Amino acid sequence: MPHFQGDEAKRYDSNIIKLVPGYELLHQLTAAQLVTLLPDESTILVIGAGTGKDIIELAQHNDSWHFVAQDISCDMLNIAKLQLAHHGLASRVTFHYGALSVLDTPVDAAICLLVMHFLPDTGEKHALLKSIHRNLQPKAPLFLADLVSPETQFERESQLLMCRSLGLTEVGEQRMRHNLNHEFYPLERMRLAELLDQAAFSSANCYFKALGFSGFACRAL
């Protein structure tokens, strides 16, 4: 998987919008649903918070929400700290650098955008979902978004073409082509349903679909 360290972390914000068609919309749609679902003073766990984009989008919708920003990349979280401070949000965020498995903070909702697809389906995805569940209040919502298995034979090619339109260079396209085949662990829809069920989540509704990337909403049971 990409390491999200050093230059990779520094270039993340300018690169990701060329790699994930609809990146901005995914965050906006996730926020719109949380606004509908959550009352004031809610705490939202952001798994794989990266450079802070998820929180910057969510925080502008409700001044009273608090966030727990978790990530396994210190460099990504350091950039998030700077960006969140720049937006005047530092006091509303608790940072957790390291594995989610050691976190024990009851929260009202969780989002995990563009993270789980980096984990192989050999226990790691299940463990992450169980850790998320352990931190959620009963019935709390979870929003997940990942690269999923292609639904047509031409979907991945179309995705790469779209990335070029978004500004990805030829070299970047070659790297992404390699990564799509070797660095991601996309799930079939049925397998995702199974994993969610095993981790005690409700069945998921698809709320976002842009070629290979899908977003799902479910609840802790």
Ligand X SMILES: C[S@@+](CC[C@H](N)C(=O)[O-])C[C@H]1O[C@@H](n2cnc3c(N)ncnc32)[C@H](O)[C@@H]1O
Q: Which residues bind ligand X (CB under 6 A)?
A: 4, 16, 47-48, 50, 53-54, 70-73, 76, 100, 113-115, 118-119, 128
Shortest distance (Å) from residue 2 CB to ligand X: 8
Shortest distance (Å) from residue 155 CB to ligand X: 19
Three-state helix/strand/coil letters over 153-209: CCHHHHHHHHHHHCCCCHHHHHHHHHHHHHCCCCECHHHHHHHHHHCCECCCEEEEE
Report CA-CA distances (Å) from 185 to 124, 150, 163, 212, 216: 11, 12, 20, 12, 16
Q: Which is nearer to ligand X, 153 or 162 (CB)?
A: 162
Q: Structure tokens of 126?
A: 């299940």
Nearest position to ligand X, beta carbon = 50
Q: Which is nearer to ligand X, 201 or 213 (CB)?
A: 213
Contact between residue 108 and residue 34 where contact means Cβ atoms under 8 Å apart: no
Q: Which is nearer to ligand X, 5 or 203 (CB)?
A: 5
Q: Which is nearer to ligand X, 43 or 73 (CB)?
A: 73
Shortest distance (Å) from residue 20 CB to ligand X: 8
